[in-house]
């Protein structure tokens, strides 16, 4: 049998397609809740487990040592599972570099459109002109 190397999944941002060593993410992401913290800090930093004693009624923190009882949220597909779970469609396509690249490009375009960095019209114009064309210099 021939072994196949899958596409790497980053242990820092939990995105597929690059290794932890080459990750450009500013902050780690939690594979359980997709929050801006590491999995080790989930219990103390995630709003779902941290609790809120000043809320009415007060929300208790998750007990130390107990697994997080809250619904997970995947960083990649936004599904109700951890980013490291084999239920994720990204896991099933881990050997398909083309599928992962298409998803990464689609996710980037959606992020830019929703953040206001690139309007839909600008995105359509860019696509019509040809992606990543170098601007003219005088």
Say if residue 86 is in the same domain as residue 104. Answer: no
Whether residue 131 has pLDDT greater than 50: no
| Residue 137 included in any domain | no
Q: Which domain holds residue 104?
A: 96-131
| Residue 42 included in any domain | yes
pLDDT score recorded for residue 133: 44
Say if residue 58 is in the same domain as residue 83. Answer: yes
Token pair belonging to 107: 């996710």
Say if residue 59 is in the same domain as residue 103. Answer: no
Write out pLDDT tens, residues 18-49.
Answer: 899 999 998 999 999 999 999 999 988 988 88
Number of independent structural domains in the chain: 2
Say if residue 29 is in the same domain as residue 76. Answer: yes
Say if residue 91 is in the same domain as residue 104. Answer: no
Say if residue 26 is in the same domain as residue 78. Answer: yes
pLDDT score recorded for residue 74: 93
Say if residue 35 is in the same domain as residue 74. Answer: yes
| Residue 138 included in any domain | no
DSSP string across 59-127: BPPPPTTSPP-SPP--TTT--SS-TT-TTSHHHHTTT-HHHHHHHHHHHHHHHHHHHTSS-HHHHHHHH
What does the alpha-carbon distance between residue 38 and residue 73 come to, in Å, rounded to a whole number? 14
Say if residue 110 is in the same domain as residue 82. Answer: no
| pTM, full prediction | 0.65
| Residue 32 included in any domain | yes
What does the alpha-carbon distance between residue 91 and residue 88 come to, in Å, rounded to a whole number? 5
Reported confidence tier of residue 5, pLDDT bands at 50, 70, 90 = low
Contact, 81 vs 72, CB < 8 A? yes
Least confident range from 14-18, 72-76, 103-107: namely 103-107
Say if residue 8 is in the same domain as residue 58. Answer: yes
């Amino acid at each position: 049998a021939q072994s196949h190397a899958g596409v790497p999944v980053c242990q820092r941002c939990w995105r597929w397609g690059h290794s932890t060593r080459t990750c450009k993410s500013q902050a780690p992401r939690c594979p359980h809740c997709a929050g801006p913290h590491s999995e080790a800090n989930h219990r103390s930093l995630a709003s779902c487990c941290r609790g809120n004693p000043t809320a009415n009624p007060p929300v208790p923190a998750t007990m130390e040592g107990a697994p997080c009882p809250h619904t997970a949220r995947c960083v990649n597909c936004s599904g109700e599972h951890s980013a490291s779970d084999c239920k994720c469609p990204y896991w099933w396509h881990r050997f398909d570099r083309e599928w992962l690249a298409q998803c990464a490009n689609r996710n980037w375009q959606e992020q830019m459109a929703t953040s206001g960095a690139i309007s839909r019209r600008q995105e359509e114009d860019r696509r019509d002109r040809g992606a990543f064309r170098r601007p003219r210099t005088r």
